[in-house]
Amino acid sequence: MTGTYPHTRLRRTRATAWSRALHRETVLTPADLIWPLFITEGEGVEQPIAALPGVSRWSVDLIVERAKEAVDLGIPVLALFPHTQPERRSEDGAEALNPDNLMCRAIRAIKAELGDRIGLLTDVALDPYTSHGQDGLIDDAGYVLNDKTVEALVGQSLNQANAGADIIAPSDMMDGRIAAIRDALEDAGHINVQIMSYAAKYASAFYGPFRDAVGSRGLLKGDKKTYQMDPANTEEALREVEMDLAEGADTVMVKPGLPYLDIIRRVKDTFEVPVFAYQVSGEYAMIEHAVAAGAADRDAMVLETLTAFKRAGASGVLTYHAPHAARLLRG
């Protein structure tokens, strides 16, 4: 008889390191990582972010140095987010359309130095630029207006693509924005600019440190529950993903990450497309605070959590631990 103890001992293949490596089902490499970075004004500026221990905002010249670091570590893509100066924020987020804004300057600087040796994913949403902290344009009652916001997002996407962005990543959760952006990119000749849609982005409690990083936490009026998803919903996530793929998204993202591994698996199994996960700021901060309290080993937790994303079906992970993980994986 086979398949029963003692003829089958499942511990047999776990007995040595070489055997565990041979039988490992999920493999994590630096090429699976996307490194989110925050841009700020000035030259030679590093601004540590208290809510994200070990993470800083960088001026454009130092963002270029981080890009070189990523290339050396084998990290293929950077995700860029601007910390817009308060005086450049406005009710309509017009700075998003400025071809000389922080995002566009950083894109041009990195591409001038490294070209296609590094991919650049750029966030499309108005919250880094609005005086009210919402991802879109609002009416007198504070409700985010879908169609007028989509018009602004199209302009923002073209602005970034013209600067040299490789992947446009709409994180706003407006209905219909993927089709509008795809059509605009095609019409402008940006046929190889990818769209990674934040297709299943939940109204999560895990975003707080990120809002500190981009300077919108103290500005946000109300919440984002009228456009980001209810954390209790699964079927709705599949509808969102299906719509975005039909409208021209090349890849989709689930955000946050670890609390939503079930969503990653369902999206992967249902659509068989590249799915990315965002290990968001609150997830990162929890690991760092656990390490600081002596309650966890950073190296082990980082690799275990990132492997969990891959095991759940993610093609890659946006993580603030990207450089640390890459160093661990490269030995």
Question: For every residue of 114-176, which 3-state class applies, written as one string?
Answer: HHHHCEEEEEECCCCCECCCCCCCECCCCCECHHHHHHHHHHHHHHHHHHCCCEEEECCCCCC
Q: Which residues of the chain have pLDDT under 50?
A: none
The whole-number pLDDT of residue 213 equals 92
Cβ-Cβ contacts under 8 Å for 20 (sequence gap 6 or more): 13, 14
Residue 217 pLDDT: 77
148 in active site: no
Question: Backbone phi, then psi, for 16, in 5-degree steps?
Answer: -135, 155
139 Cβ contact partners less than 8 Å away, ≥ 6 residues apart: 145
* CA trace torsion 279, 285, 288, 293 (10° rounding): -140
Active-site residue, from 201, 224, 268, 310: 201
C-alpha to C-alpha distance for 316 and 135, rounded to whole angstroms: 25
Q: For residue 202, what are its two tokens?
A: 């939940």
Rounded distance, CA 164 to CA 34, Å?
Answer: 18
272 labeled binding residue: no
Token code pair at residue 311: 């095991």
3-state secondary structure of 112: helix
**Per-residue pLDDT at 1:** 53
> Across the strands, what pairs with 57?
38, 47
Q: What is the pLDDT of residue 218?
A: 81
Q: Which of 111, 224, 255, 310 is catalytic?
A: 255
Residue 237 contacts residue 212 (beta carbons within 8 Å): no
Q: Which two tokens stand for residue 89?
A: 């924020």
pLDDT for the residue 44: 98
| pLDDT given at position 215 | 86
pLDDT at 321: 98
- Classify residue 17 by its DSSP letter: H
- For 29-253, CATH number? 3.20.20.70
The whole-angstrom separation of Cα 195 and Cα 274 is 12
Looking at residue 2, its pLDDT comes to 64
Asked whether the beta carbons of 233 and 241 are under 8 A apart, the reply is no
The owner of tokens 């090429």 is 31
To the query of whether residue 268 is one of the catalytic residues in this protein, the response is no
* Helix orientation angle between 146-163 and 102-114, rounded to the nearest 10 degrees: 30
